[in-house]
Structure 1
Amino acid sequence: MGKLFGTDGIRARVGDFPLDVDTVRAVGYLLARYFLEKLNRPPRFLIGRDTRESGPWIEKAFREGAVIAGATCESVGVITTPGVAFLTQNFDFDAGVVVSASHNPFYDNGIKIFSSSGKKLDDEIERYVEEQILSGFKISPAEALDVRASVDPAYYEAYLDHLVRTFDHLKLDDLKLVIDCANGAASLLASQLFSHFGCQVKLINADPNGRNINENCGSLHIDNLREEVLKVDADIGIAFDGDADRAIFVDEKGETVDGDGVLYVLSDFLRQQGRLKNGIVVATVMSNIGLELALERRGLKLVRVAVGDKYVLDELLRTGSDLGG
């Protein structure tokens, strides 16, 4: 057995440690027990997932363990990772759990856990769960409960409403978009969201079957998106990954606009509006010198952190900055 948590939670081949039923159940139990001891009351967890065929049984195993330890679990069903983070923070959950392996193939899966503030789980909690699991902690099958979950659509609707209200000022009536949903969590949300802004939207790879998530599509495979943008004469193409926590953009010529390009455009827009606190943009060590020099010409500073969105967020909070990626 190796390390349990990586930079983005637990991730592995489905059925292998640590994504076997017993270990997932134990993770749910230990997380609930930790919060029960810290809060001195039963914790509330929200669970969401992407479209992988393994998602339902992984969610069920996690829920079983958590309920045995005294937690209350509610399910939002298929939703994006940012959706779980938002709902966890705004509906008073003690933790939010996402069953997803992001951009990986369907035969991988994972567990991401958010704190009540919508941030990634504290290292202290990860260490507690990891030490217990790696020392052999198990829940006997006899202890497992037959826990059946019903999905509450109110949470999904609340997140969609939040997105619409947040970007209500956008006027996209004259734009034509192509959106690659990676046969993942954005497959329904993208259509419902962008229809509010008046733009023409063509969805591709928005028909998940449990096994086609990220299969030759999405943010790691954008050739089809490029072709479709040129074919329909679209203004922009957007490719999400399986849990829609990342996006790649394509312009009207089919050229990729990478993360550095997106950060530059957003930073300049915010700078012109006086909304970029401290003149700081936070990025990872993967960002290149070109972005740094371009920002310097605008009087802005690039701060680099280790790879992982939790490190970007930590630096944003530490410096009181507004933009990172």
Structure 2
Amino acid sequence: MGRKYFGTDGVRGRVGEAPITPDFVMRLGYAAGVTLVGREKLPAGERPAVLIGKDTRISGYLLEAALEAGFAAAGVDVMLAGPIPTPAVAYLTRALRLQAGVVISASHNPFYDNGIKFFSAGGAKLPDAVEVEIEEHLDLPMGCVDSAQLGRARRIDDAAGRYIEFCKSTFPNEMDLRGLRIALDCAHGAAYHIAPRVFHELGADVVAVGVEPNGLNINDGVGATRPEFLRQAVLVNGADIGIALDGDGDRLIMVDRQGEVYDGDKLIYVIAAARKSEGRLDGVIGTLMSNLGFEHAVGRLGVPFARAKVGDRYVLEMLHERGWKLGGENSGHIICLDRHSTGDGIVSALQVLAALKQYGRSLGEACADLVFYPQKLVNVRLPAGFDWRADQGIAAAQAQADATLGNDGRVLLRPSGTEPLLRVMVEGRDGELVERLARQIAEAVQEAVA
């Protein structure tokens, strides 16, 4: 059954426009609360309880109040954690034995966007079936329990401290970060008061940037989606390494002392190589967008590799299906299930640093066997209702390109999730061949829609 409001990562949009309006978010809280009450079989006298965390967007105050009202009307207690990273909500929901966690964030989007995403009691994204049930309740009139049954709200004063200690616990006890100078970009986001303390308390000399949120500057020229800012911070401050998070702290990009940027594929490879040498790696999950050079490098480690659909949600699903522990996206979502139940930028950075320290390597040395193949992406606009999969000309062009590349490349045709575009991606060892084949496929698409 399709979902009407939930996307791959919760409900998201521009604040003030449907569905991110106060009335809808209140009804969303109520619908989620009713779903929890119906699913949870608690002892008599106990009510379900949820944790609400948010990033630093100014609209977080508005949406937090609306969610709180909706949950209270459904008879669900609320614990308010204030600004904390998305993975902190996942951790605290599990640690406090709550029924669900809710994050108010639009991740790496500009401040004028926001969203609502949910975690289960175990700290994982809600299953599709639960989201569908919430949507069913959204389409019904909103009610309210009797006054004596209304939910209560309270703030958790030590939420940040609890999460800081959890992050530190994922770093080997016998190691520390003394002697390491880290440039740390927190994107003026949810990790601004948490990440610097984690790395400082582990012994690093931390140069923190992007730690002055004003409600409007989250992700504005900073963070994991703008690595040039971190690169300059590394070079200007003579840092040994740079770490950039996004607005809600679940995405990671790193920079070495020479200013070279390392994306998710490279960082996953560093972790994978270390885990393999320790004999505790069953396989690695990437996505359809993971570079073929990354897949081949993982193969040279003697480690199985598989691709999920784009989105950390689908990486997590495949990890659980196969019983593997490591995966992620080249965008910087990295999931280490032996450390956390979800992707976590701080925790992932600590795994990379532990691998480098254990083997006495720099990022460049750790990635020496990882050679990225050239990629060419061409976007072709599609008319409404056009079924590109059924067109024989497009299929023939793709088949010819696949045959030409053989095992030295791949072709991916993928519709955009937000625009009427077909994304034509070709990658392989030969850059000129990649360019030519991508143009040929794009031309076949254009001829088909003409």
Partner of 2:224: 219
Change (3 A) 1:169 1:14: farther
1:194-233 equivalent positions in 2, closer than 5 A: 194-233=199-238
1:164-179 equivalent positions in 2, closer than 5 A: 164-167=168-171, 168-179=173-184
Partner of 1:67: 72
Partner of 1:218: helix, strand, or coil?
coil
* Distance in 2, Cα, partners of 1:215 & 1:148: 36
Partner of 2:279: helix, strand, or coil?
coil
* Distance in 2, Cα, partners of 1:203 & 1:25: 36
Once the two structures are TM-superposed, the CA of residue 24 in structure 1 deviates from its matched residue by 0.4
Q: RMSD in angstroms over aligned alpha carbons? A: 1.9
* Distance in 2, Cα, partners of 1:147 & 1:57: 19
Tell me, yes or no, if the aligned pair for 1:50 and 1:100 is still in contact at 8 Å. Answer: yes
Once the two structures are TM-superposed, the CA of residue 228 in structure 1 deviates from its matched residue by 1.5
2:104 counterpart letter in structure 1: V
Partner of 1:98: 103
Equivalent of 1:76 in 72, 75, 81: 81
Partner of 2:81: helix, strand, or coil?
strand
Change (3 A) 1:137 1:169: farther
* Distance in 2, Cα, partners of 1:224 & 1:147: 44
Tell me, yes or no, if the aligned pair for 1:14 and 1:108 is still in contact at 8 Å. Answer: yes
Count residues in correspondence: 318
Matched, 1:55 2:60: yes
Partner of 2:380: none
Partner of 2:29: 28
Tell me, yes or no, if the aligned pair for 2:30 and 2:142 is still in contact at 8 Å. Answer: no
TM-score of the superposed pair, with normalisation by structure 1: 0.93
Once the two structures are TM-superposed, the CA of residue 103 in structure 1 deviates from its matched residue by 0.2
Higher relative contact order (CA 8 A, sep 6+): 1
Partner of 1:97: helix, strand, or coil?
strand
Once the two structures are TM-superposed, the CA of residue 26 in structure 1 deviates from its matched residue by 0.6
Equivalent of 2:313 in 310, 315, 321: 310
Matched, 1:266 2:274: no
* Higher gyration radius (CA): 2
Once the two structures are TM-superposed, the CA of residue 308 in structure 1 deviates from its matched residue by 1.7
1:131 counterpart letter in structure 2: E
* Distance in 1, Cα, partners of 2:141 & 2:201: 49
1:1-325 equivalent positions in 2, closer than 5 A: 3-41=4-42, 42-133=47-138, 135=139, 137-138=141-142, 149-167=153-171, 168-276=173-281, 278=282, 280-325=283-328
Once the two structures are TM-superposed, the CA of residue 83 in structure 1 deviates from its matched residue by 0.4
Mean Cα deviation higher: 313-322 or 255-264 = 313-322
Change (3 A) 1:211 1:149: farther
TM-score of the superposed pair, with normalisation by structure 2: 0.68
Change (3 A) 1:229 1:206: same
Task: Report the identity percentage.
Answer: 43
Tell me, yes or no, if the aligned pair for 1:60 and 1:147 is still in contact at 8 Å. Answer: no
